Amino acid sequence: MNAPARIDLHTHSTVSDGTDTPRALVRAALAAGLDVVALTDHDTWAGLDEAAEEAERIGVGFLPGAEVSCERLGRSVHLLAYGGDRTHPGLVAELVRIRAGRTDRIPEMLRRLGRLGMPLTEDQVAVHARDTPSIGRPHVADAMVAAGYVASRDEAFAGYLAEGGSAYVERYSPDIADAVGLVRAAGAVPVLAHPWGRGSRDVLPPHVLEALVEQGLAGWEADHVDHTEAERAELHVLAERLGVLATGSSDYHGTGKTRNPLGVHTTDPSTYAELRRLVER
């Protein structure tokens, strides 16, 4: 009998804040023994064509996606969107607006770091952001590491860049319920990323997850490194009770996040089959 398929539905490339190009990411997925990988860069679909082409060429299953930056009650939450119409005017416009917010906050972040005694120029950040359309705090963190201010991305976040940190600057993101509606309108399948990671259970408690399901949410990641074992179990039970998907994924960022190797968590093949059915509908 064949081993069950290994399916990883949440990864990042250099098109956002990962460190593998889309092509390299797909190759890494094959090397890691995955049968299916989804590329879900932050707020952009720019890597999907390259990744899909390479996946086809080397024989890895591929699911196109994006991780949409959202908020609830002023706190950042992330929504995975699988498949859908990548020319949908409303969703395209929303992603443009979110990415503009990413770019626009960089100068203020650098001013704050300067005041904290860690001067950096936009050019120093650009070395790490390269040509990404979706610049993020990890690129600033990489510039801080290169300048010798901190030892790692994690240290940059823990000391300065995490939500509420001394160099943190807010940016535009849509309300999660509105985003679920918009993703659905574009024919894509909305799945919450790490709903209870990094303390976000406060803003996404079970009754809010239930309300979002009523608004079209198709499920959430249960198995994710930012969830405890108890949280994973509870998210599986809740998904089962509500009849929605509970996925498992790595949230791989290449060398940018060491706790998230490809396939560290995977999605059950029957759950993936249901997701595919929703994507293709």
Contact set with ligand AMP (CB under 6 A): 17, 42, 136-138, 153-154, 157, 162, 253
What is the edge-to-edge ordering of all strands in the sheet holding 7-8?
7-8, 36-39, 61-72, 75-82, 189-192, 219-223, 245-248
Question: What residues line the site for Zn ion (CB under 5 A)?
Answer: 17
Task: Report, in Å, the least distance between residue 69 CB and ligand AMP.
Answer: 6
Task: Report, in Å, the least distance between residue 41 CB and Zn ion.
Answer: 8
By a kind-dependent CB cut-off of 5 to 8 A, residue 32 interacts, out of Fe ion, Zn ion, ligand AMP, none, with none
Task: Report, in Å, the least distance between residue 230 CB and ligand AMP.
Answer: 21
- Euclidean distance between CA atoms 234 and 228, whole angstroms: 10
Contact 278, 38 (CB under 8 A): no
User: Closer to ligand AMP at the Cβ: 9 or 238?
Assistant: 9
By a kind-dependent CB cut-off of 5 to 8 A, residue 153 interacts, out of Zn ion, ligand AMP, Fe ion, none, with ligand AMP
- Euclidean distance between CA atoms 228 and 264, whole angstroms: 14
Neighbours of 186 (CB within 10 A): 20
Is beta strand 189-192 parallel, antiparallel or unpaired with respect to 75-82? antiparallel
By a kind-dependent CB cut-off of 5 to 8 A, residue 154 interacts, out of Fe ion, Zn ion, ligand AMP, none, with ligand AMP
- Euclidean distance between CA atoms 27 and 39, whole angstroms: 12
Task: Report, in Å, the least distance between residue 48 CB and ligand AMP.
Answer: 18
Task: Report, in Å, the least distance between residue 232 CB and Fe ion.
Answer: 16
User: Closer to Zn ion at the Cβ: 8 or 17?
Assistant: 17
Residues in CB range of 185: below 8 A, 6 or more apart: 88, 90, 91
- Euclidean distance between CA atoms 26 and 39, whole angstroms: 9
User: Closer to ligand AMP at the Cβ: 179 or 242?
Assistant: 179
By a kind-dependent CB cut-off of 5 to 8 A, residue 193 interacts, out of Zn ion, Fe ion, ligand AMP, none, with Fe ion
| C-alpha radius of gyration, the chain, whole number | 18
User: Closer to ligand AMP at the Cβ: 51 or 144?
Assistant: 144
Retrieve residue 7's tokens: 């399916």
User: Closer to Fe ion at the Cβ: 124 or 152?
Assistant: 152
Cβ-closest residue to Fe ion? 78
Retrieve residue 160's tokens: 């300065």
Cβ-closest residue to ligand AMP? 136
User: Closer to ligand AMP at the Cβ: 83 or 138?
Assistant: 138
